[in-house]
């Protein structure tokens, strides 16, 4: 069985980017425990709005409660009335997957330096595991592929005596 792993790395050597700051993800395919770089997926922030869907940059959004907010997705959400308009949904609204989550939605797991709680929950809803680590890409891929081999074969993760 083969699967994909998305890695947030600026140089392809160290896992040094958080999920939120990653501009690209390196996609590795793992087949029988062997990892091979498959592709690189770039995230274009200028083409997303507050809801994380593709739009022109500088998107202006009128809130459901009649108040208007301006989102500047390139620099983070700059909504004057707040994304979600006080609903607690934040950018993307409650239950809506972000564009970055959709970018890696065909992967079995995401590896990054740090990840926010809400994005982690969005990934988990799509059955995507999250590993936030600080190590080399090679080391992370080796350990994660070993972990999934053990999980897929229903073996204990405890050290053998």
Q: What is the pTM of this model?
A: 0.70
| DSSP single-letter state for residue 98 | P
Q: Kindly report the backbone phi and psi dihedral angles of residue 146, in degrees, each rounded to the nearest multiple of 5, phi listed first.
A: -65, -45
CA dist 145 and 132 (Å) reads 15
**pLDDT tens string 122-156:** 999 999 999 999 999 999 999 999 999 999 998 88
Sorted by where each starts, the structural domains of the chain and their CATH numbers stand as: 2-44+97-152 (3.30.420.130)
**Residues 110 and 130 sit within 8 Å (Cβ to Cβ):** yes
Mean pLDDT of the chain: 77
């Amino acid at each position: 069985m083969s699967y994909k792993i998305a890695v947030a790395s600026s140089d392809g050597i160290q896992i040094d980017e958080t999920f939120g700051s990653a501009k690209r993800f390196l996609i590795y395919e793992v087949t029988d425990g062997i990892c091979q770089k498959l592709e690189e997926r770039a995230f274009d922030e200028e083409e997303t709005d507050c809801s994380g869907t593709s739009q022109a940059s500088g998107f202006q959004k009128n809130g459901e409660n009649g108040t208007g907010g301006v989102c500047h997705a390139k620099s983070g959400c700059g909504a004057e009335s707040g994304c979600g308009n006080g609903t607690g949904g934040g950018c993307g609204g409650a239950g809506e997957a972000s564009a970055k989550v959709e970018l890696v939605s065909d992967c079995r797991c995401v590896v990054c330096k740090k990840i926010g709680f809400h994005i982690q929950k969005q990934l988990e809803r799509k059955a995507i595991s999250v590993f936030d680590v600080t190590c080399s890409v090679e080391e992370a891929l080796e350990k994660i592929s070993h972990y999934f081999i053990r999980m897929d074969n229903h073996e204990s993760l405890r050290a053998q005596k």
